[in-house]
């Protein structure tokens, strides 16, 4: 079997994945520009699950915050879950934003923004 080697061009940017490694560092995927490969589709599916879970959690948060019998431990747990979901959604937004096409003439602006984006 012959495997064709593809060079990664300078325009291909690593995709920030929506999860971290065991040390808490970001994970990246380097793939072709189409974003239709097997690993890209898997990453898309995981993002969809994370976004769905965040949406479900928001519904639960509204219910719990409206319950006058909610205890302090329940509210602290809710806050921890919301913070984790917000972290996931923020990383997904940064990843998707980084994959948007850059308008002509704005390429030099990319060098001025730190890797984590403004404010990170």
pLDDT in tens, 40-99: 999 999 999 999 999 999 999 999 999 999 999 999 999 999 999 999 999 999 999 988
What is the rounded (10 degree) CA torsion for 13, 19, 24, 81?
140
Q: Which of 22-26, 33-37, 65-69 has the lowest mean pLDDT?
A: 33-37
3-state secondary structure of 20: strand
| E strand or H helix that includes residue 59 | helix 38-65
pLDDT of residue 109: 55
Tokens standing for residue 85: 């979901």
Tell me what the mean pLDDT of segment 90-109 comes to. Answer: 83
Sign of the CA dihedral 113, 114, 117, 120? negative
pTM (global) more than 0.75:
no
Averaged pLDDT of the chain: 83
């Amino acid at each position: 079997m012959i495997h064709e080697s593809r060079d990664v061009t300078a325009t291909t940017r690593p995709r920030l994945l929506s999860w971290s490694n065991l040390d808490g560092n970001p994970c990246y995927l380097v793939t072709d520009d189409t974003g239709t490969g097997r690993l890209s589709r898997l990453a898309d599916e995981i993002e969809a699950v994370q976004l769905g879970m965040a949406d479900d959690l928001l519904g639960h948060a509204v219910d719990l915050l409206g319950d006058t019998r909610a205890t302090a431990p329940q509210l602290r747990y809710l806050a921890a879950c919301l913070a984790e979901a917000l972290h996931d959604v923020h990383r997904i937004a940064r990843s998707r934003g980084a994959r948007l096409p850059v308008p002509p003439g704005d390429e030099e602006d990319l060098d001025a923004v730190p890797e984590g984006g403004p404010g990170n």
